[in-house]
Amino acid sequence: MQARKFRVPQRKTQRRWRVPPALKRGDEIFEGLGVLDELTGERGLVLWQSLRDALLWADAQEDERAALFSPDAERTRMAMILASQPAPELEEPLSVMARMLGEPTRISEEMVALACRRVSQWSDDEGLLATSLAFAQAAATVTPGDPATAFAVGKLARRRAEYARAETWFRRTIALARQVGDWATYAQAFNGLGNLYRQRGNLPAARRFLARAVRAAQRNSLHAIEGAALHDWFVVATEGDRTEEAQQLARAAFEAYGPHHPRIPMLAQDVAYWWTTQGYHGRALPVLRSTLPHFTQPHERLNPWGSIARAAGGIGDRAAFREAWDACYDLLPSMTAHDVTAQTLLDMALGAASLGIWDKAEQAAREALEIGSQRQEGRIRLTAEAVLDSVRHHRSVETNRATARPEMVEAGDSLAAEFVRSLQSGMAAV
């Protein structure tokens, strides 16, 4: 099925659009506290003061900015920046914000917003999400009519599990994007809302917003965004046990992306993993193997190797299981705090249990339980406890649930073959 023909229910009511305000504070005592929590010493102080100055400058009327700062404020700030020895990526954006103190009426909003976005990107790269969110929000405050900047705030707030703040920024993005005709950001904001509701466990709402993202992307021939929204909708369908819908969405996402899109390996991994949960281990295994050359970072490779261990166990391939088990344990020491680690260990335990390798099944399940408990991941804890109970009674947790209609089985096999061809041709072209 062609993704551009995937039928999405049409809205029957018209909506009046206005730009709503967005939440600018979470549970912090004062704005920017997260910066000081994440960065101590002179560097943290310089970043915090630069943030506060940018927000003060943004909130002032243009004719009020000349009186905001003292005459020697720029010189004092530059001395502080030099003393803090900032990372090279921070030198220019911090200097721009220092110049804002000395020439508050001559520096443009675009320059200040860009400086804030660059600090936000550096902070994100360093894993400092509170700092990244604070500066992204400052950029959105400086340029309040820019939907892309507002969207960046929503994404960061969602990653920090600040769901209320994220929702207000996504809704603001939708209204801003509609006003200026930025249909790419408009569709992405609906996608962001859909993923937010999925993370909160509200699958019907997630499905509605993702459908709107798909509809907006289709209307404006935004095929990559359409593919991403269909991909996320596929995940929602699997979590809601909507099997036939999930398979249709997997095919639609593949067609919307196109066979050589850079996200095809991620889609292939997600779909193949879902097939393992449905009992189609033999279909999933070659797809999972074909994804591996496309992933180079340890956190990218851990997940497919864990899925391979589970699929290999499901079809009784001991050699493939041992290879995957060893590959996972080579990667795990540097990944104990990563969000895919506990699930990977569970997949390894399930693969071992399918083969009757009870000691390995118990080892991996206990480690998954420990990590899941530390991270307060309730689903992981419950599944790990179920695996451990099964191991004690020497029985496999996996059951073959592959009971789909013959045409669905044929469609799934066809998609698997297309994934493999696409992934292999993609590597040949590199």
Is residue 428 over pLDDT 80?
Answer: no
| Residue of higher predicted confidence among 278 and 400 | 278
Per cent of the chain over pLDDT 70 is 91
Contact yes or no for 291/302 (Cβ under 8 A): no
Residue 413 half-sphere exposure, CB side, CA atoms within 13 Å? Answer: 9
* Homologous superfamily of domain range 261-429: Tetratricopeptide repeat domain (1.25.40.10)
- Round the average pLDDT of the chain to a whole number and report it: 90
Q: Left, alpha or beta for 201 (phi > 0: left; psi -120 to 50: alpha)?
A: left
What pLDDT, on a 0 to 100 scale, did the predictor assign at position 4? 46
Phi then psi for residue 263, to 5 deg, are -90, 0
Please report, for the chain, the start and end positions of each structural domain, with discontinuous segments joined by +.
Answer: 31-144, 149-258, 261-429
Report the b/e string of 298-311 with b at 16+ CB within 10 A: eebbbbbbbbbbbb
Angle separating helix axes 264-277 and 281-291, nearest 10 degrees: 150
Task: Check pLDDT > 90 for residue 3.
Answer: no
Q: How far is it, in rounded angstroms, from Cα 37 to Cα 85? A: 19
- Per-residue pLDDT tens for 211-225? 999 999 999 999 999
Residues in Cβ contact with 62 at an 8 Å cutoff, skipping those fewer than 6 apart: 105
Which pTM was predicted? 0.86
Counting every residue written for the chain, the total comes to 430
In eight-state DSSP terms, residue 295 is -
d(CA 235, CA 123): 29
261-429 has the same fold as 149-258: yes
- pLDDT at position 161: 85
Six token digits for residue 198: 């999925």
User: How would residue 430 be classed by pLDDT, with cut points 50, 70 and 90?
Assistant: very low
399/326 Cα distance (integer angstroms): 25
36-93: per-residue pLDDT in tens? 999 989 999 999 999 999 999 999 998 899 889 998 999 999 999 999 999 999 999 9
- How many whole angstroms separate alpha carbon 226 and alpha carbon 255? 10
Q: What pLDDT sits at residue 131?
A: 95
What average pLDDT score do residues 228-239 get?
97
Q: Tokens representing 282?
A: 């033999």
Helices assigned H by DSSP within 200-317:
203-219, 223-239, 243-257, 264-277, 281-291, 298-315
Please give the Cα distance from 334 to 337 (Å, whole number): 8
Longest dimension (CA), the chain: 78
- Tens digits of residue pLDDT in 330-373: 998 876 656 688 899 999 999 999 999 999 999 999 999 998 88
Across the range 244-248, mean pLDDT stands at 95
Cβ–Cβ < 8 Å for 169, 86: no
Per-residue pLDDT tens digits for 260-279: 999 999 999 999 999 999 99
CB 77 within 8 A of CB 104: no
Fold classification of 149-258 (topology level): 1.25.40
DSSP class of 203:
H
The residue with greater pLDDT, 159 or 404, is 159
Does residue 429 register a pLDDT over 60?
A: no
* Per-residue confidence (pLDDT) for residue 403, from 0 to 100: 64
Phi, psi angle pair for 26, to nearest 5°: -100, -125
